[in-house]
Structure 1
Amino acid sequence: MNVGLIFAGGVGSRMKSDSMPKQFLELDGKPIIIYTLEIFEQNRNIDQVIVVCKEEWIEYLESLLSKFNIKKVLSVISGGKTAQESQYRGLLEIKQRIVGLKDCIVLIHDGVRPLINDEVINDNINSVKKYGATITVSPAIETVVYIDDKGKVSEVLERSNCRMAKAPQSFWFEEIMSSHKRAIEDNNHKFIDSASLMQYYGFSLSTVEGEPENIKITTPADFYMFKALIEARKNEKIFS
């Protein structure tokens, strides 16, 4: 069993969209979140999807699922106050709604990261089966520096050894769930993503290479890049 756990809880503050969260902004009449969900819907290795959403937008999202014929979404639930809490709520929903969790792989993904593809999803699943906890990465294309507590550059990192962490981040269900429970027991709420949580609790993280275009749409510039990439894909189909 392979389950997509998709987060659609942003408020769009950096997008400067006060009236509508960024995941619902449209391109060609289709919201960003639907572009993302369609990839999971069409992937033959994904069995079910759980979506975590802002509570006041759940009904609207459910109407979109019907409109765009998204069938794999098992439920849409409200998120928590932090990303970590929202992840845990999503995992609890999987535990309550899905059977056969012993062999269940969870792919945790951002609803505003719509430029993934089948290969990335499949590589994540295969990597978890072979190596366990896995995150999607892409090469660092600019120099990365380490800053000390005074704001000074203390180290210039070797770019060839650096990667940008992306999504999906994928795990055996029982392992990611147990790590979240340990964090709650430890009153440890500092984790911004599942990769950092898993590493903190002793899990080795394997990687799969994704495309640099697998961006997270959080600013107007990101949205225009998304638009340009979608147009480029359309042109490739026309002229191929």
Structure 2
Amino acid sequence: MNYALIFAGGTGQRMNTKTRPKQFLELHGKPIILYTIEAFENHPDIDGIVVVCLEDWIPFLRKKLEHYDIGKVIDIVPGGATGQESIRNGLMALEKAVGPDHCVMVHDGVRPLVSPETISECALSVARFGSAVSVTPAIETIVQENNGTVTSIIDREACRMAKAPQCFNLGELLDAHRRAEEEGSAGFIDSASLMSHYGHALHTVATGPENIKITTPSDFYIFRAFLDARENSQIFGL
């Protein structure tokens, strides 16, 4: 079975908003996090969802889930001091609810435009290979630098940008988190880097350019443009 773990624990400092965290900013009256949850809620391959949320915002999120008739959310758990700890909290809650032998798709709460095709391909990749890391091609030149000087230019044809969802066997991912905790290893930027560190092979799944993470105000405007274009195509049959 396939479960989504949606991480919505950030405060959104780069969004320059003081009113609410970025995942709760609204577009057309709906918080960003609800768009993200609905992408998994409406997918037939997803059997349940756990959301990791800022503790003070959990009551607000529960009301929104009820308002939008979201039925697949198993649990909402508070985040920890770091992103790594927050995801571990969510994994433990999911394991407690359904057991370890399932696919878990770790996804950013502020990545609301993930497509049904990406979710389907990720589920298939985990079933076949045990992992799925969503990626897009690198479209600009990538360089390495030291003290302001370029030391090498990397062939971008061989480069990919890691996105989300990042998907693994739930038990294996949780074991990696527990090993990191025992060893005092912190600072893994995402699940892919954590699993790679502990020797797991990472298989890639291509995702679309619209699968953006809303981090800055410009990202929000891009999200609005994508969403408006999608709605216009439905209205006008484009």
Fold match (TM-score > 0.5):
yes
Q: Match for residue 22 of structure 1?
A: 22
* Secondary structure, aligned partner of 2:135: strand
Residue deviations 1:146-204 (CA, integer Å, cap 9, x gap): 123x2321111111111111000000111101111111111101201110000000011
1:212-227 aligned at under 5 Å gives the runs: 212-227=209-224
Hey, what's the Cα distance between the residues in 2 that align with 1:23 and 1:184? Answer: 27
Q: What per-residue deviation string (whole Å, max 9, x for no partner) do you get for residues 106-149 of structure 1?
A: 0000000001111100100100111112200011111111123x
In structure 1, the residue matched to 2:68 is: 68
Match of 2:207 among 200, 207, 210: 210
Distance apart, 1:69 and its partner CA? 0.7
Percent sequence identity is 50
Residue 155 of structure 2, aligned match among 131, 154, 158: 158
Contact 2:95–2:171 (CA under 8 A) maintained in structure 1: no
Question: Which runs of structure 2 are paired with 1:87-236 in the superposition (5 Å)?
Answer: 87-99=87-99, 101-102=100-101, 104-148=102-146, 150-236=147-233
Task: Provide the rounded CA distance (Å) in 1 between the counterparts of 2:22 and 2:204.
Answer: 28
1:64-112 residue CA offsets vs partner (Å, 9 max, x unmatched): 000111110011110001111011101110111114x32x000000000
Deviation at 1:239, TM superposition (A): 2.3
Give distance in 1, aligned partners of 2:24 and 2:168. Answer: 27
Give the letter for the 1:173 counterpart.
L
Provide structure 1 residue ranges, at least 5 long, that are not aligned to the other structure: none
For the residues of structure 2 that align with 1:194 and 1:210, how far apart are their CA atoms? 17
Deviation larger for 226-235 or 106-115:
226-235
Runs of 4+ with >4 A deviation? none
Give 3-state SS (helix, strand or coil) of 2:14's partner. Answer: coil
- Give the TM-score, by structure 1 length: 0.96
What residue identity is the alignment partner of 1:199? S
1:9 corresponds to: 9
- Tell me how many residue pairs correspond in the alignment: 237
Aligned equivalents of 1:11 and 1:18: distance in 2? 10
Please, which runs of 5 or more residues in structure 2 have no aligned partner? none
Q: Matched residues in 1 for 2:52 and 2:203: separation?
A: 25
- Corresponding letter in the other structure for 1:237: Q
Residue 15 of structure 2: SS of its match in structure 1?
coil
